[in-house]
């Protein structure tokens, strides 16, 4: 079944993307808050590496999809750093917080 047969069109898809773009800041803020929550828990539990990578990867993809290439680059660097690490030790948490703060600045 084609998209047209399903009642979908490029115009409708563009309209849906435009709606999502209007609320981008809100739900991107939610992802950043989720990443910061993982970092907070990591301080207590010494864990969270995979969870932080997963959230960061989502932020990277979403930022790129909505034209925030600088935010994508920043989080790509964070993801690359996390790939080289196995645990969220103190220096990694500081680096991650700096990256998240930079994304906040880019999105404002």
pLDDT of residue 26: 80
In a domain, 4, yes or no: no
Q: How many domains does the chain have?
A: 1
User: What is the domain extent for residue 82?
Assistant: 10-107
pTM over 0.85, yes/no: no
In a domain, 76, yes or no: yes
pLDDT of residue 2: 64
Closest CA to 52 of 74, 68, 37: 37
Residue 3 has pLDDT above 60, yes or no: no
User: Residue 80: in which H helix or E strand, if any?
Assistant: helix 69-84
In a domain, 3, yes or no: no
Q: What is the dihedral of CA 43, 49, 53, 56, to 10 degrees?
A: 0
In a domain, 39, yes or no: yes
Residue 25 has pLDDT above 90, yes or no: no
Q: Is 12 exposed, middle or buried (0-12, 13-18, 19+ CB in 10 A)?
A: exposed
pLDDT of residue 46: 63
């Amino acid at each position: 079944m084609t998209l047209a047969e399903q009642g979908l069109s490029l115009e409708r898809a563009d309209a849906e993307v435009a709606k999502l773009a209007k609320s981008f800041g809100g739900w991107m803020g939610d992802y950043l808050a989720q990443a910061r929550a993982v970092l907070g828990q990591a301080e207590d539990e010494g864990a969270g590496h995979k969870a932080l990578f997963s959230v960061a990867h989502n932020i990277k993809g979403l930022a790129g999809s909505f034209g925030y290439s600088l935010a994508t680059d920043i989080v790509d660097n964070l993801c690359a750093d996390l790939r080289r690490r196995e645990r969220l030790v103190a220096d990694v948490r500081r680096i991650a917080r700096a990256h998240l703060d930079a994304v906040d600045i880019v999105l404002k």
